[in-house]
Each structure stands twice: as C-alpha cells, then as structure tokens.
C-alpha cells in the first residue's frame, strides 16, 4: 500500500462543488439524501459571501496516485453565557467510508480543538445521531462526553414561519 499524507485546509470559494459533493455523501450515509437542497451557488453565497454563516475544513488525502477529498468539517462560532467565552459548534464532520481509520476524523477534530483554543474558547460541541455507534465510540476515545440532560430542539418549515409571524 502506498504511503498516505493527510492535509487539513480551509475551504475556498472554488471548493463549493467539493463541499456539495461531501454534503451529499454525508446525507447518503445518514440516509437523508432526500433532504439535501443545497446547491453550489447557495454554498458559495452562504459560506463565502459577504457574511459567511460558517467555515469549512477540507481533509485531503495525498497518495502517490494523487489527492482525494476524503472528508470535511463544517463549523461556526458560538458563545457560552456561563463561561463568558466563545466556542465552536461542529455542524458536520464526515470522512468518506473508504478513508476511515486513517486518522482523518481525528485530524479534523484536532484542528477544530486548536481553533477553539485560538479563540480563547471554552468548548467545542456537536451532535451525534443516536444510531451512529461507531461515531459515539470514536468521540469517546477522544474524551468527548455526551450531554445526556440536553435534547436538541429544532424549528423548521411552516412551524418556523408560524412562530416568526408572531413578531408582527
């Protein structure tokens, strides 16, 4: 087997197609492909426009035969009122199944941990699907602890629109 090198880099505007491809691969893995409405244009506008909503790291796997986009991490800044410190929220972490067990996910998380510390941040957080036991085990090996008393709540679609109308 050829030697592999992992490079973690900040995504650029011209990576919108790569990001979309990785999002679609993540959605397929999570059996949620039917929910993806993202396009390259939307990604370019929301991640690389005047006010970026989030940032993306791309994991490139370099082998003797070339460079492959093996995974990504999409994250944004949060704030802890209790700590009075910023933090990072990891919205998506994905490594293509064929490239797992090479330390790519750990390198992406290590970069995010460093970026959290660079902000003088207090925490790095994310959510994990309950059925994804392999991810739970991976995060536990890194020292991450589930927040068992907390449940994610979400407003979308018509419920979000209905609540927003109450401001008028």
Give the CATH number for residue 47. Answer: 3.40.630.30
The 3-class secondary structure across 4-53, one letter per residue, is CEEEEEECCHHHHHHHHHHHHHHHHHCCCHHHCCCCHHHHHHHHHCCCCC
Nearest to 127 by CA among 156, 112, 148, 113: 148
Residue 47 has a pLDDT of 98
- The domain in which residue 111 lies consists of 5-165
pLDDT in tens, the chain (168 residues): 456 799 999 999 999 999 999 999 999 999 999 999 999 999 999 999 999 999 999 999 988 888 999 999 999 999 999 999 999 999 999 999 999 988 999 999 999 999 999 999 999 999 999 999 999 999 999 999 999 898 888 898 899 999 999 987
Residue 147 has a pLDDT of 92
pTM of the predicted structure, to 2 decimals: 0.91
> Side by side, which strands form the sheet with 85-95?
5-10, 55-63, 66-80, 85-95, 123-126
Catalytic position from the list 75, 79, 89, 139: 139
Count of structural domains, the chain: 1
How far apart are alpha carbons 138 and 161 in whole angstroms? 37
Is 139 a catalytic site residue?
yes
């Amino acid at each position: 087997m050829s030697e592999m090198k992992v490079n973690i880099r900040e995504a650029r505007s011209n990576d919108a197609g790569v990001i979309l491809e990785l999002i679609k691969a993540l959605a397929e893995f999570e059996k949620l492909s039917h929910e993806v409405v993202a396009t390259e244009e939307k990604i370019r506008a929301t991640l690389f426009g005047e006010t970026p909503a989030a940032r993306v790291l791309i994991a490139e796997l370099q082998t003797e035969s070339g460079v492959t986009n093996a995974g990504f991490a999409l994250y944004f800044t949060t704030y802890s009122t209790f700590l009075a410190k910023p933090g990072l929220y990891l919205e998506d972490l994905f490594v293509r199944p064929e490239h797992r067990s090479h330390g790519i996910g750990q390198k992406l998380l290590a970069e995010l941990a460093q970026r959290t510390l660079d902000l003088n941040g207090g925490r790095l957080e994310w959510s994990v699907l309950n059925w994804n036991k392999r991810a739970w085990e991976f995060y536990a090996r890194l020292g991450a602890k589930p927040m068992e008393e907390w449940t994610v709540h979400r407003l979308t679609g018509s419920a979000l629109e209905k609540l927003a109308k109450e401001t008028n």
